[in-house]
Chains A and B, each alone.
Chain A
Amino acid sequence: MTTRKAIVMEGIDNVATVVEPVDALGEIVVEAAGGKIVVHICDNIPFGHKFAIRDIPGGSLIIKYGEPIGVARIDIKAGEHVHVHNLESKRGRGDQ
């Protein structure tokens, strides 16, 4: 049995999914690509939501499951909540 608070699905991912609600200003250790990364959490992250595990420059790909799930709309700092407010979907966009 583990007590992990956040899961990184694949080594090249730049986000982690929290498996319990996480409060801002805490610190989380996530396992990614065989190593451990300490992330300072900047936002409250609800259950099932994501945070950046490293800085993601605006315009670059957001990776989960080892695959792109969208593009950063703005610069996203490690520890920030990643969701519809700063992640731009690239598929099914009839508005663009």
Chain B
Amino acid sequence: MKFIGYRRSGGTVGIRNHVIIIPSVVCANRVARGISQLVTGTTWVEHQHGCTQLGADAALTRRVLVAHGTHPNVYGVVVVGLGCETLRAQDIAEEIKETCQDKPVKLVIIQDEGGSLKAIAAGASAAREMVGGASSMERTPCDVAELILGTECGGSDACSGISANPALGVACDLLIDTGGSVILAETTELIGAEHLIAARAVSEQVAARCYEVIRKCEDSAKAMGVDMRGGQPTPGNIEGGLSSIEEKSLGCIYKAGTKPLQDVIDYAMPVTKKGLVWMDTPGQDIEQLTGMVAGGCHIVVFTTGRGTCCGSPIAPAIKVATNTAIFEKMKDNMDMNAGTIITGHESIAQVGKRIFAEVVQVASGKLVKAETLGFNDFAIKRIGPSM
């Protein structure tokens, strides 16, 4: 089965052809935004990191920023630094160039350029040239088996586990049957369902990893000395009828379909296996989204019962409403409705097939609502304090 995408020189395929402006440090956010605002056809990210971080925490920020530059959905990158930060923009630009030798990469250092206005001008000039190049590239037929689909549920309600998540599970199974990859994530929201996914692991080692990441996640919640229900499920989840993390998790796991679990990987690490892979991410939607995209995910299917609008700057996120009321109420943000399962108008299998067809269409260029509305949400998980 084919979709039309952008073939990259490294052998990967992209479903978008973005020019992205990436600040290496929080101090360069304004300049990155300024560059993007001047040049139609670009996107940008902002974040709070890049300075006074140490060890694994610093390495994680670097990995996520570099991965957004090397991502196959990205045609070209402008990396912006202040000049005195811990996470040097030079190193990020260099690593992107080393990984993707044909990708246009421009480095802008604010202190070297002589201030923010000159840095914005230098970045905008390079970005304009990249957008010209990107726009002349044509899509070509690519195999659906090359797609990596990220799954996410946020703003869950009691319908999530009855309608949208089981339907997404059907779509995931269909993608895996064609040879593609699927990411299951949000470890917090698998507490209480870990035995179900571990039973599907391809080896004892992978099964042991399932229990290990859950134990670490639960231990870190317990270390706060409170009932997890102060933050998980969220107040909105509880209002929507979810009474415990176990109930939320058992509804959440349906979106992973029924195929064997091939691997459990760390946050923002590249997905290298075909089939179903669990990425150990927090349950916070944007940190999860950012981690999956950094892992190479091309496209996300995001189920929601309470309603959410978010989107990655470089990977489309298809929003699937779990109930018809929220689909109607937040129509500007919802791409699909799985509430038809609740009302009995459609079966889980029918909606699953619709989701899979939508994934292929969006991969071929159809814009999702989060893209047309300009969402560029981005948040990197922290594992250490700022110094």
Contacts and interface: CB of A to CB of B under 8 A. Distances in A.
A76 B343 CA distance: 29
Interface residues of A, number: 31
A89 B245 contact: yes
B23 interface: no
A27 interface: no
B162 A70 contact: no
A53 B246 CA distance: 19
A89 B243 contact: yes
A94 B246 contact: no
B260 to A, nearest CB: 20
Residue of A64, A68, A96 contacting most chain B CB atoms (<10 Å): A64
Given A3-B344, A65-B250, A92 B243 contact: no
B230 to A, nearest CB: 9
Interface string A9-32: 100000001010000000000000
B241 A89 contact: no
Contacts of A47: 241, 323, 325
A73 to B, nearest CB: 11
A64 B243 CA distance: 11
Query: Interface residues of B: mostly helix, strand, loop or mixed?
Result: loop
A68 B246 contact: yes
Given A48-B159, A67-B193, A1 B343 contact: yes
A70 B126 CA distance: 57
A89 B250 contact: no
B238 interface: yes
Residue of A9, A46, A70, A92 contacting most chain B CB atoms (<10 Å): A92
B250 A67 contact: yes
Interface stretch (B52-60, B86-94, B219-227): B219-227
A69 B323 CA distance: 22
A64 B222 contact: no
A50 B162 contact: no
Residue of B224, B244, B245, B250 contacting most chain A CB atoms (<10 Å): B244
Contact of B222 (A48, A49, A50, A93): A93
15 contacts: A2-B344, A9-B161, A47-B323, A48-B241, A65-B161, A67-B250, A69-B192, A69-B250, A84-B243, A89-B228, A89-B243, A91-B246, A92-B227, A92-B232, A94-B223
Interface of A: 1-4, 7, 9, 17, 19, 46-50, 64-65, 67-70, 82-84, 87, 89-96
